[in-house]
Amino acid sequence: MFTKTECSYCALKSRAVESLTDEELKLMTNNCAEVRCKPGENIIKEGTLSSHIAYLKCGLAKVHMIGPGDVDQILKIVSQGSYIGIQTILTDKIHRYSATALKESIVCYIDINLFKELIQRNSQFAFELILYLCADELSYFERFVNLSQKNVNGRLADTLLYFSKTISKSENFELPLSRNDLAALIGVRRESIARSMKDLSDTDIIAVDGRKIQILNEGLLEKISNKG
């Protein structure tokens, strides 16, 4: 369902949007729409026209891409305050990846032509976007190194700590990913996930009940994460 909220009054603006003038905020209000996405719904779809930038106002989503052999690879998990599709605005007209809601999410779709105009006319807006993209890229570099050099237990420990500390902010949480998605996120087979989960459970580091996870020994889980 599409709704329209005055950008000036939005409490969940990005740092870039906070730098816009009143006139520019009015322009954004007139060129964006707020959409509520249910779990499993596409936010953007690979191969489609990139007519809008998506801003994840609240919720959680997976960013994924089809690779060789039509295998769907999860690139990263994004949460509240993330831009989706921004990489294509100056280089291409087609989305090179998909994003799918993992939880009920609210997404603001901003017209891509207005987005480009704001980059050109407001240097602070452009600067904040550069900072955002730099932080995002550095995070992706770190994730690439971890996937390349850590074993399955180390990668799984990274992921569980991320969902515990960053997403849920609790030692008790529900994984928003299926076992297949979890395997795709850390680059292993589903069977490897099952074995690693069992290893961590048998040593009383975590307790597992379906998708419900309880971290019993955070210190040891962090040690596994650090050592890889």
pLDDT of 225: 92
Question: What DSSP element (H or E) covers 186?
Answer: helix 179-186
Same domain, 93 and 124: yes
Signed CA dihedral, 26, 27, 31, 37: sign only: negative
Same domain, 101 and 203: no
**Sheet harboring 105-111: ordered strands across?**
2-3, 32-37, 105-111, 52-58, 82-84
Residue 35 near residue 52, CB atoms below 8 Å: no
Q: Which of 119, 154, 133 is nearest to 85 (CA)?
A: 133
Same domain, 127 and 219: no
How far the first Cα of the chain sits from its last, in Å, is: 44
pLDDT of 185: 92
pTM given for the model: 0.89
User: In which domain, by residue range, is 18 found?
Assistant: 2-137
* CA pair distance 133, 53, nearest whole angstrom: 14
Same domain, 133 and 155: no
Residue 43 lies in a domain: yes
pLDDT of 5: 66
pLDDT of 122: 97
Question: How many domains does the chain divide into?
Answer: 2
pLDDT of 71: 84
Same domain, 128 and 213: no
pLDDT of 146: 86
Residue 170 lies in a domain: yes
Residue 72 lies in a domain: yes
Residue 208 lies in a domain: yes
**pLDDT under 70: residue ranges of the chain:** 1-5
**Sheet harboring 42-44: ordered strands across?**
42-44, 98-101, 60-66, 72-79
- Output the six-digit token pair for 41: 């719904």
pLDDT of 67: 86
